[in-house]
Amino acid sequence: MIVSRNSFNPSTQSLQVIAEVCQFLATLLVLEGTEKITEDEKKSLKTMLSGRLRGMPPVFASETCERCLNLLSPDEESRFMANSVEGMLEKALRQCGGAGCDRETQSDGSALMQCGRCKCAVYCGTQHQKQAWSMHKSICFLSSF
């Protein structure tokens, strides 16, 4: 795993960029696990993340850095948390994001519609997409794929 030190440097990156990088790293750690990361890489990541937390205001960037540190810890509580989040992430990719809806296809049997912006949220129809937008828009981002 290659991580650029400048990705975590508040003097070269905005707190928003740091938050996005850490959120992406946390998602990778949850979905892929930490087994393939060498102890040296874990140590390097922990050093970078801990160093960035010092002096960082308590905002989303510091919360996502802290989340990454917890995921790199070998304790059972962190692993349980990661497994729970992994289940929620995977469910969100295969089930409608409408409140109380657990459909895995549209009513005509076709695949769920993806959010046109981030491609990460899925819905069984436009009504559920509109219904979920107020909650989804705070985490929606323009996708590069």
* pLDDT tens track, the chain, 145 positions: 445 555 555 555 677 777 788 888 888 888 888 888 899 999 998 888 887 776 666 677 778 888 888 888 877 877 787 778 778 778 878 899 999 999 999 999 999 999 988 888 999 999 999 999 998 988 888 766 5
65 and 38: one domain?
yes
Distance (Å, whole) CA 143 – CA 129: 17
Give per-residue pLDDT as tens, 108-119.
999 999 998 888
Same domain for 105 and 48: no
Left (φ > 0), alpha (ψ -120 to 50) or beta: where does 115 sit? beta
Give the number of domains in the chain: 2
Which pLDDT value is given to residue 13?
66
Statement to judge: residues 11 and 43 lie in one domain? yes
Could you tell me if 65 and 11 lie in one domain?
Answer: yes
111/63 same-domain check: no
Extended beta strands in the chain, E state: 113-114, 122-123
Judge if 20 and 82 occupy the same domain.
yes
Indicate whether 78 and 140 sit together in one domain.
Answer: no
Q: Which two tokens stand for residue 65?
A: 């850095």
| Residue 24 shares a structural domain with residue 63 | yes
Q: Note whether 68 and 82 are same-domain residues.
A: yes
Q: Write out the residue range of the structural domain in which residue 105 sits.
A: 95-145
20 with 77, same domain: the answer is yes
* Residue 84 and residue 105 in one domain: no
At residue 1, the pLDDT reads 45
Point out the domain boundary residue: 53, 72, 91.
91
Give the Cα separation of 45 and 39 in Å (integer).
Answer: 10
The answer on 143 and 104 residing in a single domain is yes
